[in-house]
Structure 1
């Protein structure tokens, strides 16, 4: 058999001369009729292994000899149920509003531990999983007339940074691994999210 073409209400088998159609399957509960043809004229040729359902025997027009037939006449097609699919929870993507809220939570918690007065605050934060554990490191400083002072981040500030890392920004498929943050006394701030092995962690890896 060279080709099988399906059309509404009729299945047509185009065969080469002397060919045997093998494992022909017809699955229909309507008036589909398998028709053997050669150059668009009716012909007879052997069918080996007819399967499926037909409304009645007259719907078969391809009989030289039929062997291995598993036809069932007069029955409708039993459509198997759709298998149960695994329920997929869409990965949560943080919207711009969510990111802004989380960033403001961090800034509010950060300022609780920054001594007055100050001109700017800078934070280098890393959180990276390696060696079966998660490494969390940071360097935080405030500046006044280029005098630098250390800042201890509060638990609330660290938790806010973790929340930012666990909610990737829209368009990002992976979580950032470290960030640089800067805030000046006029209220201008910038989050620089970065990826890959953080520099402080890299030094720790190299030392081992």
Structure 2
């Protein structure tokens, strides 16, 4: 059983192991992985490596993108971010927000859902390497008070569901954070490590 905390600046992965919970280290032996996705003429860069090259590749390094997930292009917050972020935000055909980058020498446009899925892919690969097992499922949970706020509207939750589907994980229905933790514990069998590595909890 693993948990992934996706933050605006950093993300963390934890695993239920040896009757306890441990934070999984990334490729740099750090517990915190930068929530950054970058593009170059040769490859796509994720996490800490993406953050390390940010100053030399500003327009193709996407950071602090979590608040944009699920917002409409005409939202006042988006219009303000367009003037603030170093990368180029553009409207997506769906009406949402996308980013335009230069990847492999070509101009490409990716939705915020795809950018989030790319970050999740990096976290998933790192975790699978550590656990030596395949991660298949996830649970999305929110704090009860956050469910009532505008920034966690049905549209934004649906967009987050899409990014997890792009991430190729089966996502269980939305629930409050407390309910998500209960599912996490209920499905955990601390005496059977073979079961623990089959599921994923995201919140």
TM-score, structure 1 normalization: 0.22
Which of the pair is proportionally richer in strand?
1
Structure with the bigger RCO (C-alpha within 8 Å, sep 6+) is: 2
TM-score, structure 2 normalization: 0.23
Specify the structure having the higher radius of gyration (Cα). 1
